[in-house]
Chain A
Amino acid sequence: MRFSGLRVLKEGLTGNKGWTPHWRDPEPRPEYDIVIIGGGGHGLSTAYYLAKEHGLTNVAVLEKGYIGGGNVGRNTTIVRANYFLQGNSEFYSHSLKLWEGLEEDLNYNVMHSQRGIINLFHSDGQRDAAARRGNMMISQGDDAILLSRDELRKMLPYLNYDDLRFPIYGGLYHPRGGTARHDAVAWGYARGADQRGVDLIQNCEVTGIDIKNGAVRGVQTTRGPIRARKVAMVVAGRSSQVAAMAGMRLPIESHVLQAFVTEGLKPVIDHVVTFGMGHFYISQSDKGGLVFGGDLDFYASYAARGNLPTVENVMEAGMALMPMIGKARVLRSWGGIMDMSPDGSPIIDRTHIDGLYLNCGWNYGGFKAVPGSGHVFAHLIATDRHHENATKFRLDRFRTGRGVMDEEGKGSQHNLH
C-alpha cells in the first residue's frame, strides 16, 4: 500500500475502508541471518537500512512489548544537528540529512517540521561559547545564526528578557532544527522494514543470548529459541540487562527523564526554545499542546515515571522564562528510561563476542539520531566496518581514555550528564 494525496482523498470519500495494516504480524521463524533485539526507533531503522542499503532481508526485530512503546514514543521529538565535537558533529549532521529525505524515502508522513531551534544565552561568556559552537556547526556544513537580543525579541516576543538571574542576551538559531511526530517515525520505519521482508515480532522478549566458542549463535525468547549468525542489541534503557545475558557489564546507568504536555492551544510558540540555564526546553506540537521538559530526576531508575521535585523545577523554569505559560493547564506528564553513558555520547560498536553488536548510550538525545544510528549501525553489522560518520562511538574509549566525547564539557563520569 502506498500513500498519496489522491489516495487520502479517495479513502476520505469512501469511508476510509480501504486502509490495510501497516505491517504483518508473523510467527518467529527458527532462524534468521540477523536478529535485532529491541523494536524502538533505533532497532527499526537499523532493520530498514539493512534491507534497503545492504539487501539483507532475512532479518527479525524482536520487541518485548509493542512497536513504539519505548522511548521512541515518549520523547519530546526534537531533531537537530548542533553538536560541537568531532565524532558527534559529523554523525548528527549525517542524521539530519537523512531526516530531510525521510518522508519521501519511507513514503510516510513523519511530520518532520524544520521550525528552527533557538538556544538562549545569558552572559558575554555564553555568547562567545554560542558563537564558537555556531562556527563549528557551519564548518560541519550545517546552519547556525547568532541572534542579538533585539533580533531575538522580534522572533520571540513572549520571553522574559529581564529576568534578574538570567537576563537574555541573545540566542543561537539553528534553522534546520525542529521536531517530528515520534510515533510516526517508529511506524514509518516499521512499515518500510516490513515491506522489504523484515519480520517484526512483538510481544517477544529476549531472555538469553546463546554464545559458543566466542561467537553468537542466537537468542532465547519468550516465544522460543531463534538461531542467528548476527545479533544486535538496541534496547536503550534496558541495555545493561540485555548485555548481561552475554556476560557483559556496560558503562551505562539508566535514569528517568520526564516530559510534560499542556492542553491544546492556538499557535503561540513557533520554534523550539531551549533555556539551558534553567534546564528547560519547549515546543508546540501540531495538535497545539505545549511540549516541554527539563533535566533528569538524577537517580538510577527504571520506573518510567519521576518524582515531584523535578516537576516543580521544570515548572518554575518555564514560568521564569515565559510567564505566559502559567495560563496553560498541564494535561499529562510521563517518564522514559534513559541509557546514560559517562561522557554523554553513544556507543555503536562490535563487542568482544563475534557477531554480537551493541548500540546504546543515547542519553536524552537519541530521537534525532534514529535515522543516522540505524544507517551507520546497519553498515557496521553488514560490513563489520564502522561507517565513516560514526567511527568514534567506541565501547573501549572509557577504558583507554582515548576518544572520550564529552560534548557538554562536564567530565566523563557517571551522573555528570
Chain B
Amino acid sequence: MRITCPYCGERDRREFYYRGAATDLDRPAPDAGEEAWENFVFLRENPAGVTRDLWYHEGGCGAWVVVTRNTVTHEVLETRLASEARS
C-alpha cells in the first residue's frame, strides 16, 4: 500500500502511523453528553468499502493526512491534509 502525502508525494505505507477513522476530527463539545462522546470515542461506522481515515506522516514531513480508501481492495482514492479536510 502506498499513500500520497500532499507535501511529499507517493510514499511507502511504512512511513505512516495509522490513527483510525477520520471521525476523530469531529470532536464534540465537552458538554455534548454521554451519547455524543460514546459515538465519538468508541462507536464506528467501520465500512466494508470506502472509508476515510487519519494517517500521520511520521517518517516524512509530519503532516496529518486524511486518506480516502477502500477497505476491501486497499485502493487509495484520495488524500488531503487534515487541516484542510477539517475546515
Residues on A close to B: CB < 8 A?
Answer: 238, 240-241, 249-254, 298-303, 307, 309, 342, 398-399, 413-415
B51: which A residues are within 8 A, CB to CB? 300
A342: which B residues are within 8 A, CB to CB? 41-42
B: contact size bracket: 20 to 34
Whether the pair B42, A253 counts as a contact (CB closer than 8 A) is no
B73: which A residues are within 8 A, CB to CB? 303
Whether the pair B13, A253 counts as a contact (CB closer than 8 A) is no
Given A309-B14, A415-B18, CB of A303 within 8 Å of CB of B42: no
Interface CB pairs A-B, < 8 A, 7 = A254-B48, A300-B21, A301-B71, A303-B71, A307-B1, A342-B42, A413-B42
A301 to B18, CA, bound (A): 12
Given A254-B71, A301-B74, A398-B38, CB of A415 within 8 Å of CB of B46: no
Residues on B close to A: CB < 8 A?
Answer: 1, 12-14, 18-21, 34-35, 38-39, 41-48, 51, 53, 71-74
A298: which B residues are within 8 A, CB to CB? 18
Whether the pair A398, B41 counts as a contact (CB closer than 8 A) is yes
Whether the pair A307, B74 counts as a contact (CB closer than 8 A) is yes
A240 to B73, CA, bound (A): 18
Interface centre among A300, A303, A342 (most CB of B within 10 A): A300
B35: which A residues are within 8 A, CB to CB? 399
Interface centre among A238, A299, A302, A398 (most CB of B within 10 A): A299
A86 to B27, CA, bound (A): 33
**Which residue of B18, B41, B42, B72 is within 8 Å of A299 (Cβ)?**
B18
Nearest-CB distance from A37 to chain B (Å)?
Answer: 16
Nearest B residue to A298 via CB reads B18
Q: List 9 A-B pairs, minimum CB-CB distance, nearest first.
A: A240-B46, A251-B42, A398-B42, A399-B38, A249-B43, A302-B48, A415-B20, A299-B18, A309-B14
A252 to B42, CA, bound (A): 8
A303: which B residues are within 8 A, CB to CB? 71-74
A267 to B16, CA, bound (A): 40
A342 to B74, CA, bound (A): 23
A309 to B14, CA, bound (A): 7
Nearest-CB distance from A251 to chain B (Å)?
Answer: 4
A323 to B79, CA, bound (A): 40
A42 to B70, CA, bound (A): 28
A252 to B48, CA, bound (A): 12
